[in-house]
């Protein structure tokens, strides 16, 4: 049985989906999983070992060029590719109108949150099966519950496993607990001041947790270096 996961963005939302994928891999070893994700986050979605194929969308870029023929050519090519894969089920883990429209392109039954649970209730008009998941839960738990309902198992919510194994010689060499400081964001209104990240790193150290900084461009690198300079125990 082939399942397509639709969770297009953003980086944090993609990462929050990993535990649900890991649950599904454990409970349903008979399934294979592909993922449809925004092109900027394709490399992140591909980190999970259960994901066999990545399909990329460029909704953010396409919105800026709706009158460009190349935009519609790319969208049509994605639709053909998804339909050629002949999925048995699509899980829209995002619950937005844009993700529901993407899911519809696969031409397979779609499972998603019900009207009271979806972030955008209009998305449910495109679903074939809907499931109630309380909106006041953390995104990780919401997604784990959705996958369990759609795929017929009960996730063990007392445990949490992303399924991501760090390469030997990187994080695997750090003793004890670690916490990623994901300070980068594509939206200015979501940015947190470097001083707050530094204070967070200090609090983590006090609790015996090693902060790990990340970066993907020069601006984010500067913030990561500022955190590491102020809190030397940061990796």
Q: What local confidence, expressed as pLDDT, does residue 168 receive?
A: 58
Exposure of 102 by Cβ count < 10 A (0-12 exposed, 13-18 middle, 19+ buried)? buried
pLDDT in tens, the chain (235 residues): 999 999 999 888 999 999 999 999 999 999 999 999 999 999 999 999 999 999 999 998 999 998 899 999 999 999 999 999 999 999 999 999 999 999 999 999 999 999 999 999 999 999 999 999 999 999 999 999 999 999 999 999 999 999 987 665 566 667 788 888 988 876 777 788 989 999 999 999 999 999 988 877 788 888 889 999 998 888 7
Q: What local confidence, expressed as pLDDT, does residue 81 receive?
A: 98
Tell me the C-alpha distance between 15 and 118, whole Å. 19
Q: Is there a contact between 177 and 209 (Cβ–Cβ < 8 Å)?
A: yes
Residue that terminates a domain, selected from 102, 117, 151? 151
Tell me the C-alpha distance between 99 and 55, whole Å. 13
Kindly state whether residue 176 falls inside one of the protein's structural domains. Answer: yes
The answer to whether residues 77 and 124 belong to one domain is yes
The per-residue pLDDT for range 73-106, each reduced to its tens digit, is: 999 999 999 999 999 999 999 999 999 999 999 9
The answer to whether residues 142 and 179 belong to one domain is no
Kindly state whether residue 164 falls inside one of the protein's structural domains. Answer: no
Kindly state whether residue 26 falls inside one of the protein's structural domains. Answer: yes
The answer to whether residues 128 and 187 belong to one domain is no
Q: Is there a contact between 1 and 108 (Cβ–Cβ < 8 Å)?
A: no
Q: What local confidence, expressed as pLDDT, does residue 190 receive?
A: 78
The answer to whether residues 139 and 48 belong to one domain is yes
Q: What local confidence, expressed as pLDDT, does residue 185 receive?
A: 76
Rounded to 5°, angle at Cα 204 from 199 and 209: 155
Kindly state whether residue 117 falls inside one of the protein's structural domains. Answer: yes
Q: What local confidence, expressed as pLDDT, does residue 167 receive?
A: 62
Tell me the C-alpha distance between 57 and 127, whole Å. 20
Structure tokens given for 169? 């010689």
Number of domains in the chain: 2
The answer to whether residues 59 and 131 belong to one domain is yes
pTM of model > 0.85: no
The answer to whether residues 123 and 54 belong to one domain is yes
Structure tokens given for 92? 């829209």
CATH number, position 175? 3.40.50.2000
> Going by DSSP bridges, is the β-strand pair 32-38/2-6 parallel, antiparallel, or unpaired?
parallel
Kindly state whether residue 15 falls inside one of the protein's structural domains. Answer: yes
Q: 235: closest CA among 180, 162, 168, 197? A: 180
Tell me the C-alpha distance between 235 and 18, whole Å. 23
Dihedral Cα 100, 102, 103, 107, nearest 10 deg: 130
Domain range for 196: 171-230
Tell me the C-alpha distance between 145 and 91, whole Å. 12
């Amino acid at each position: 049985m082939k399942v397509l996961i639709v969770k297009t963005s953003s980086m944090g939302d993609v990462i929050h989906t990993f535990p649900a994928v890991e649950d599904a891999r454990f409970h349903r070893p008979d399934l294979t999983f592909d993922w449809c994700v925004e092109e900027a986050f394709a490399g992140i979605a591909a980190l999970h070992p259960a994901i066999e194929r990545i399909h990329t969308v460029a909704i953010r870029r396409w919105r800026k060029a709706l009158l460009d023929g190349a935009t519609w050519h790319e969208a049509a090519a994605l639709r053909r590719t998804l339909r050629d894969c002949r999925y048995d089920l699509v899980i829209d883990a995002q619950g937005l109108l844009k993700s529901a429209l993407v899911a519809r392109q696969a031409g397979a039954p779609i499972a998603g949150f019900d009207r009271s649970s979806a972030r955008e209730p209009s998305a449910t008009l495109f679903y074939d099966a809907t499931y109630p998941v309380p909106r006041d839960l953390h995104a990780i738990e919401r997604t784990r519950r959705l996958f369990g309902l759609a795929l017929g198992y009960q996730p063990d919510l007392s445990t949490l496993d992303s399924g991501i194994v760090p390469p030997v010689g990187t994080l695997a060499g750090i003793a004890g607990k670690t916490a990623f400081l994901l300070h980068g964001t594509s939206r200015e209104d979501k940015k947190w001041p470097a001083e707050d990240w530094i204070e967070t790193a200090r609090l983590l150290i006090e609790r015996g947790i090693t902060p790990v900084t990340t970066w993907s461009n020069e601006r984010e690198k500067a913030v990561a270096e500022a955190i590491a300079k102020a809190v030397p125990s940061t990796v």
